[in-house]
Structure 1
Amino acid sequence: MERYGPARSTGAKGRSPDNAAAEGFFGRMKTEAVYPGHWEERPRGEVLVPVGDCIHWHDHKRIKRSLGWMSPVQYRQSQGTAA
């Protein structure tokens, strides 16, 4: 990071509130979509299908109480912030 200068995408060590949502999503995705299929034995393109399905479910199908029982996409559309 220091050598090439890109910005970090999540919080620094010891700053868990900054990256808790991202950590939770990727942990859940790996547990539910990647690990059960022994991904290390499969071609990359084959692994990307369940990962894509998981991301689609997370954004379009998963409802959240904090978003008024809407999915993230539905909520953003209701706020006029999504295409």
Structure 2
Amino acid sequence: MSLETFNIKISLSKNGCPYDNAVAEATYKIIKTELAYNRVFSSFEELEMELFNYVNWYNNHRIHRSLNYMTPVEYKSKMSE
């Protein structure tokens, strides 16, 4: 399979430029801090279920200062009106 199959574009930034991954890295930090810190999951299935629940909570219930104190779902809904 190729990048074209999934309509994925390669990064156009220079090698060593950290800004392409900034959003992903910030998201990983939040997940590690809020979900996984000091936790031991007994199985992959438990981790998978907890991550699913966390993402649901993060998108539908957790307010974000950067989104004017709305949840991502509320913010997206307002922006599409």
TM-score of the aligned structures, taking structure 1 as reference length = 0.65
Structure 2 match to 1:60: 60
Q: Matched residues, percent identical?
A: 28
- Among residues 23, 27, 48, which one is paired with 1:25 in the alignment? 27
Rate the CA distance shift 1:14–1:8 in 2: closer, same or farther, 3 A: farther
Structure 1 runs of 4+ aligned residues shifted over 4 Å read 7-13
Aligned residues: 76
1-structure distance, mates of 2:59, 2:10: 19
Matched AA of 1:45: E
Matched AA of 1:61: H
Give the unaligned 5+ runs of structure 1.
none
Structure 2 match to 1:16: 18
Give the unaligned 5+ runs of structure 2.
none
TM-score of the aligned structures, taking structure 2 as reference length = 0.66
